């Protein structure tokens, strides 16, 4: 029987709000900006992920194989 390799990651979900504190449906626009900034800095833009609700975005981390 082989050893199972496990990994761990972090996922953060955020609601976007406008200046008045109301939910904003501009997640697509926000994510485009995140992707552009990540690419400009040589980072992976695929960690910025849309949600099914247009007022939410998700940020994932790269999976790690140890807790350190």
Per-residue exposure over 12-42, b if at least 16 CB sit within 10 Å of its own CB, e if not: eeeebeeeeeeebeebeebbeebbeeeeeee
Tens place of pLDDT for every residue, the chain, 68 residues?
Answer: 678 888 888 888 889 999 999 999 888 898 899 999 999 999 888 888 888 888 888 888 888 888 77
The residues with which 60 forms a beta bridge, in sequence order, are 11
For 57, counting Cβ atoms within 10 Å of its Cβ (0-12 exposed, 13-18 middle, 19+ buried), the class is buried
**Euclidean distance between CA atoms 26 and 16, whole angstroms:** 8
Q: What is the model's pLDDT at position 17?
A: 93
Predicted confidence at residue 1, as pLDDT, reads: 62
């Amino acid at each position: 029987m082989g050893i199972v390799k496990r990994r761990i990651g972090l996922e953060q979900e955020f609601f976007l709000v406008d200046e008045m504190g109301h939910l904003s449906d501009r997640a697509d626009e926000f994510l485009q900006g995140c992707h552009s900034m990540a690419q400009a800095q040589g980072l992976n833009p695929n960690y910025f992920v849309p949600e099914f609700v247009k007022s939410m975005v998700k940020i994932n981390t790269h999976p790690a194989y140890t807790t350190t």
